[in-house]
Amino acid sequence: MKNKAMIEFKNVTFKYNSQSEPTLKHVSLTIDQGEKVLIVGPSGSGKSTLGNLINGIIPENIKGEIQGTILVNGHDVKDMSIFDQSLNVSSMLQDSNDQFVGLTVAEDIAFGMENDCTDNVTMRKKVKAWSDYLHIHQLLKQSPNSLSGGQKQRTSLAGVLVDESPILLLDEPLAALDPAAGLRSIQLLDDIHKHLRNTVIIIEHRIEEVLTQDVDRVVLMDDGKIVGSFTPDNLLKRDILKNYGLRNPLYLDALKLAGVDFNSLSNIDSVNLVNGNHVNDKLHQLNLNQATKRLNQSTDPILKINDLSFAYNHHPIFKHLNLTIYKGDMISLVGKNGVGKSTLSKLIAGFIKPNHGKIIFNHRNLSNLSIKERADHIGYIMQDPDKMISQVMIRDEIALGLKLRHYPKSQIDAKVKQALKVCKLYEFRNWPVSALSYGQKKRLTIASILVLNPELLILDEPTAGQDYYHYNEIMQFLRKLNQERHLTMIFITHDMYLMTEYSNRTIVLGNQNIMKDAAPEKVLNDDQLLLASHLRKTSLSILAKRFHIDPIKLTNTLITKERENDNGQ
């Protein structure tokens, strides 16, 4: 017997009031009771718009024109209030901070029940039950804003699970999590799905991580349309993800490089189980590279940190930290959530001041420079684009820094046009910022800093929310800037592949200091370090060890091949 349809889109077209063309075009989709569905697609394909139509944010908070029929739990959304929809759909937003309303974790979890006039006995019982289930009972008296990324996510998740809605919708749940926390989050969602047997919808770019647990279907979107609905096995065997700007699981790229036919594989959606005829032979026939070329050979320091110490509210973050960064370095700054990656970057940019020690930039003590003076040399791009954006229109946002520095209009126009084209935003130049997707907003913030020609660029999670196409586009552009202008870059990242392919150095933070400063492949091959710093082995490393191949050589071989492909484009 077929399960009840929980969500039905019947020939739905949606156009934002701020746009001339529809974002969703003739979408028809059915999601049944108890299904776990992953929705994927390039940035701007309509994934978040689809989610906002399911949970009622459209048209309650974001206005537009809807054609067609949308049914949620059998009810037409046109006849439902936002309150009615919230009883059917619990949503966890991309940024957990946007959901917090309570002064403590306990208050935040209880907020929805308070609005429903739930009695205190029931409310306390549910808060205890879900905080125990999600392992955050010890945090109930803390402020949500004091928590790590993973703890914040569990708190926001508890706040929606207490409502016991039949549908759980999650928009980019992995975007702000370190690799280990991301895997724990996917495991937790799988446990919740099995426990409640509810309908779970996950919108996410990090496909490989989501597929570490069972998913019933993957819905692929592009240009506002449904391309198809596939089982994970069927989708991966088709080998079409890159055609839509999405990343294949890395182990499949290695198997493809070795000439393995995907249709011959069993368990293709699991790196721990994937196998097939001649897989071992083909992998061992690969001509493996000893090392990938690390581009920076400079010995000229651009930034020196000497004996730096810093504490938040008497809680030490760094003690006697020393670091030298050379001109032209491309550095990945990694470590578990809350270890101080963003804090170190804010110290360099001047947003906060160290308790002790010196930061020297191009032989000048930064303590003598204002934030504005530092910004002429050091560009800082925040993880959350909405915290950087202050203008209504896209073009005005990119031009703002130039206007504040009194550039003539002709130079502003030329620099803004170049930045728009480089970051693939030119066609949107006259759009309002509010019409952009999260990934497009990330590119906008990069464009607004690049027009100022900084010498050092600090990017906090530059690829979060980006599909593979735009990830490659931005990172290849940044690498070109690095090679041609010797622009020094620091990436605060959870993306192990970004670290491996685009960095000449990896700095691992932990224990209030630097745990390791080494080439990326050396970091990824240190199992004890990975465990201590909440990083994780790449699927390339897992595949290599399964088939008794050197993981560093396999990684370097794949990187070299991809660079050759990039240069050939």
pLDDT of residue 127: 94
Give the separation between CA 451 and CA 414, rounded to whole angstroms. Answer: 10
Owner of token pair 């050379």 = 326
Give the 3-state DSSP-derived string for 67-112, with helices as H, strands as E and coil as C: EEEEEECCEEHHHCCHHHHHHHEEEECCCHHHHCCCCCHHHHHHHH
pLDDT of residue 432: 93
Torsion, Cα of 238, 239, 243, 245 (10° steps): 120
3-state SS class at 508: strand
Question: Per residue of the chain (569 residues), what is the pLDDT tens digit?
Answer: 568 999 999 999 999 998 889 999 999 999 999 999 999 999 889 999 999 999 999 998 889 999 999 999 999 999 998 888 988 999 988 777 778 888 999 999 999 888 888 899 999 999 999 999 888 999 999 999 888 777 888 899 899 889 889 999 999 888 777 788 888 889 999 999 999 999 999 999 889 999 999 999 999 999 999 999 999 999 999 999 999 989 999 999 999 999 999 999 999 999 999 999 899 999 999 988 765 555 566 789 999 999 999 998 888 999 999 999 999 999 999 998 778 998 999 999 999 999 999 999 999 999 888 888 899 899 999 877 888 999 999 999 999 999 999 999 999 999 999 999 988 899 999 999 988 877 788 889 989 998 998 999 999 888 876 788 888 888 888 888 888 888 999 999 988 889 988 999 999 999 999 999 999 988 988 989 999 998 888 899 999 999 999 988 898 888 888 777 766 55
331 has which bridge partners? 490, 505
Spatial contact of 519 and 555, defined as CB atoms under 8 Å apart: no
pLDDT of residue 86: 87
Top-level CATH class of 5-240? alpha beta
CB atoms within 10 A of CB 28: 13
E-only strand ranges, 199-279: 199-203, 217-222, 225-230, 265-266, 275-276
What's CA 322's distance to the chain center, in Å? 29
> 218 CB contacts (<8 Å, ≥6 apart)?
37, 38, 39, 40, 207, 229, 230, 231, 232, 235
Helix (H) or strand (E) holding 326: strand 315-326
